[in-house]
């Protein structure tokens, strides 16, 4: 069985730039993301630099990770940065109350995070503590990281072996302050965001992009409260530039929070529910954007989705507080659908961070203590799509397509696509969400001469297929056959598959 689609792509109609930061990452002190994932310690038998696991770094470098958010998540609002500097033996430990109630020894702290960013070639996104911290603590962290010359925090940094300040572009003011970050009301947090942002100074030529902690899902009331807080007409002072962006979080589950479903043992019904939820990100971004447009029609304030991805029940036998889950072909399709939507909203949506990079939730990489490392299907979507980083989006019109699938009264579009142009190359991403029919797709590329088409395909015999150390390439990209005809390029996408097509223009 197959369906027929025709996709018109206007290569000569430039849209907004797709910021590379839409392909951002997130590493929290949660389960085995930092300890046992990124960081194994200097005494590990595994190849490492300063305790940072080098095979993980090498695999992630292939994704051109643009930014890395740290130290949380919920953990950020109980993290006290001064406990994570200086000689490791002297660092006090604490209890990670959000994630497994385990002891955190603070061996991975500010200097280790900055070393990790340097190894990855990623820009740091540091998330400060509002929930249990102080304005002074956050202000001093900014000073410690970014100030040059001589000052109390500069002397402390130098005493810990780092003379030069670092560049910190992105700064988060708390996390989920409506929940784990302090259970605040929107107006109360909006005032705190203004207060904390005031004392997160720009030192020297380091210009912070301050991100206020935003809503969950489609809580537009929260976004409106934050927009009001930086559009305060008649308050006597210009508060418009106190923070530069507002975040929100959106996770994809197949069921309710107390029964999210298995990562690999799921049926078609679960699949449809998951994909409907994934496609709903479009409605949610439109909602936040509409509220922001009312207060900021020039679109100066950015929207940042700094947590997104699939959230399943943990793998059987693992610590429920560690959020360790497998990653199947279904997860890859969730990611590709999100990216198509992100590209469409690139004018307002300036950054997104998948949760989380290693061993937690929708990870790129799964590791084990004995040195095993597996690239997940989601990793391959990030890799296949990296040509979109900082590329110019171009309009994609799906002019013929299969009828949407109706599931529980909700419509699921079975074909998803987006495209961009950069450095004389166009990149088209196409996803066939139909679980049983292949998609015959004509790509009608207009507005430029096209040369040297090439395609890659990510699929597997079943949606549940996933990679393991025993079978690391059960879901991995292969070459995609392309045909040229008078109407453009013709490709056949198997059921449940993702493809990228490049052409020189
Ligand atoms: O990513 C896991 C958790 O999900 C984060 O710590 C929190 O911000 C969110 O609820």
Q: At residue 439, does pLDDT exceed 80?
A: yes
Residue with the nearest Cα to atom 8 of ligand 1?
Answer: 73
Q: Is-catalytic flag, 176?
A: yes
- Tell me if 92 sits within 8 A of 105, measured CB to CB: no
Q: What was the pLDDT predicted at 240?
A: 74
Q: How many residues does the chain have?
A: 505
The domains of the chain, with CATH numbers, are: 2-10+394-504 (2.60.40.1180), 20-389 (3.20.20.80)
Q: At residue 16, does pLDDT exceed 70?
A: yes
- Tell me if 327 sits within 8 A of 377, measured CB to CB: yes
Percent pLDDT > 90 in the chain is 94
Write the CA distances from 271 to 45, 330, 332, integer angstroms: 40, 7, 12
List, for residues 51-64, the tens digit of each pLDDT value: 999 999 999 999 99
d(CA 42, CA 33): 17
The tokens for 503 are 């052409």
Ligand 1 pocket test: which of 31, 70, 72 has the largest number of ligand atoms within 8 Å of its C-beta?
Answer: 72
Residues 486-492, mean pLDDT to the nearest whole number = 89
d(CA 424, CA 133): 49
List, for residues 109-136, the tens digit of each pLDDT value: 999 999 999 999 999 999 999 999 999 9
Q: What are phi and psi of 476, to 5 degrees?
A: -150, 155
Q: What was the pLDDT predicted at 142?
A: 98
| Mean pLDDT computed over every residue of the chain | 96
Residue listed under structure tokens 């696509």: 417
The tokens for 133 are 């911290």
d(CA 137, CA 130): 9
Nearest partner of 54 among 145, 115, 130, judged by Cα: 115
For 149-167, give one letter per residue: b (16+ CB within 10 A) or e. eeeebbebbeeeebeebbe
Catalytic residue selected from 104, 123, 176, 413: 176
Q: At residue 156, does pLDDT exceed 80?
A: yes
* 33 within ligand 1 shell (Cβ under 6 A): no
* pLDDT-based confidence at residue 369 (cuts at 50, 70, 90): confident
Catalytic residue selected from 123, 224, 307, 383: 307
Secondary structure (3-state) at 478:
strand
Write the CA distances from 177 to 128, 201, 212, 226, 341, integer angstroms: 12, 22, 10, 12, 26
Residue with the nearest Cα to atom 9 of ligand 1?
Answer: 73
40 contacts: CB under 8 Å, gap ≥ 6: 46, 48, 51, 52, 53
* pLDDT-based confidence at residue 8 (cuts at 50, 70, 90): very high
* ipTM of the predicted assembly exceeds 0.95: yes
Ligand 1 pocket test: which of 27, 29, 73, 129 has the largest number of ligand atoms within 8 Å of its C-beta?
Answer: 73
- Tell me if 284 sits within 8 A of 218, measured CB to CB: yes
* 306 within ligand 1 shell (Cβ under 6 A): no
Q: What was the pLDDT predicted at 486?
A: 77
Ligand 1 pocket test: which of 99, 355, 360 has the largest number of ligand atoms within 8 Å of its C-beta?
Answer: 355
Nearest partner of 72 among 21, 132, 118, judged by Cα: 132
Q: Is the full-model pTM beyond 0.80?
A: yes
List, for residues 224-255, the tens digit of each pLDDT value: 999 999 886 666 667 778 999 999 999 999 98
Strand intervals (E) in 97-239: 102-104, 123-128, 170-173, 209-216
Q: Closest ligand 1 atom to the C-alpha of 28?
A: 6
Query: Of 70-79, 378-387, 445-454, where does mean pLDDT reach its minimum?
Result: 445-454
Residue 352 Cα to ligand 1 middle (Å): 14
Q: Is the peptide bond before 356 cis (omega within 30 degrees of 0)?
A: yes
Compute the CA torsion angle 279, 323, 24, 43 (nearest 10 deg).
-160
Q: What was the pLDDT predicted at 234?
A: 61
* pLDDT-based confidence at residue 219 (cuts at 50, 70, 90): very high
């Amino acid at each position: 069985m197959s369906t027929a689609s025709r996709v018109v792509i206007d290569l000569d109609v430039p849209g907004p730039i797709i910021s590379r930061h839409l392909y951002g990452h997130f590493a929290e002190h949660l389960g085995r993301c930092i300890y046992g994932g990124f960081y194994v310690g200097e005494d590990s038998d595994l190849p490492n630099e300063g305790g940072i696991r080098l095979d993980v770094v090498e695999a992630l470098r292939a994704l051109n990770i643009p930014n890395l958010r740290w130290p949380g998540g919920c953990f950020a609002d109980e993290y006290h940065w001064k406990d994570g500097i200086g000689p490791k033996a002297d660092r006090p430990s604490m209890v990670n109350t959000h994630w497994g109630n385990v002891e955190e020894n603070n061996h991975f702290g500010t200097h280790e995070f900055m070393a990790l960013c340097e190894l990855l070639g990623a820009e740091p996104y540091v998330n400060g503590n509002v929930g249990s911290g102080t304005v002074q603590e956050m202000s001093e962290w900014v000073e410690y990281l970014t100030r040059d010359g001589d000052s109390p925090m500069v002397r402390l940094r130098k005493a810990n072996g780092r003379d030069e300040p670092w560049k910190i572009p992105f700064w988060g003011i708390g996390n989920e302050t409506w929940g784990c970050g302090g259970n605040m009301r929107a107006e109360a947090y909006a005032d705190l965001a203004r207060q904390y942002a005031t004392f997160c100074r720009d030192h020297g030529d380091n210009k912070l992009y301050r991100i206020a902690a935003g809503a969950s899902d489609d809580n537009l009331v929260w976004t409106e409260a934050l927009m009001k807080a930086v559009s305060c007409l008649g308050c006597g002072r210009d508060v418009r530039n106190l923070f530069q962006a507002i975040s929100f979080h959106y996770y994809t589950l197949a069921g309710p929070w107390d029964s999210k479903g298995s990562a690999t043992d799921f049926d078609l019904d679960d699949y449809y529910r998951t994909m409907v939820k994934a496609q709903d990100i479009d409605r949610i971004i439109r909602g936040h954007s509409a509220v922001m447009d009312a207060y900021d029609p020039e679109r100066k304030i950015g929207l940042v989705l700094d947590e997104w991805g699939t959230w399943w029940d943990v793998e059987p036998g693992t610590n429920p507080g560690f959020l360790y889950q497998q990653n199947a072909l279904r997860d890859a399709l969730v990611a590709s659908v999100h990216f198509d939507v992100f590209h469409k909203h690139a004018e307002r949506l300036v950054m997104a961070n998948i949760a989380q990079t290693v061993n937690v939730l929708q990870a790129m990489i799964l590791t084990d203590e004995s040195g095993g490392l597996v690239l997940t299907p989601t990793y391959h979507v990030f890799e296949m799509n990296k040509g979109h980083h900082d590329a110019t989006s171009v309009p994609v019109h799906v002019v013929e397509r299969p009828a949407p699938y109706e599931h529980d009264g909700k419509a699921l579009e079975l074909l998803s696509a987006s495209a961009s142009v950069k450095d004389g190359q166009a990149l088209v991403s196409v996803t066939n969400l139909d679980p049983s029919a292949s998609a015959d797709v004509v790509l009608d590329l207009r507005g430029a001469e096209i040369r040297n088409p090439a395609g890659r395909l990510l699929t597997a015999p079943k949606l549940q297929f996933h990679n393991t150390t025993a079978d690391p390439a059960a879901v991995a990209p292969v070459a995609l056959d392309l045909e040229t005809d008078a109407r453009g390029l013709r490709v056949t996408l198997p059921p449940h598959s993702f493809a990228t097509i490049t052409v020189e223009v």
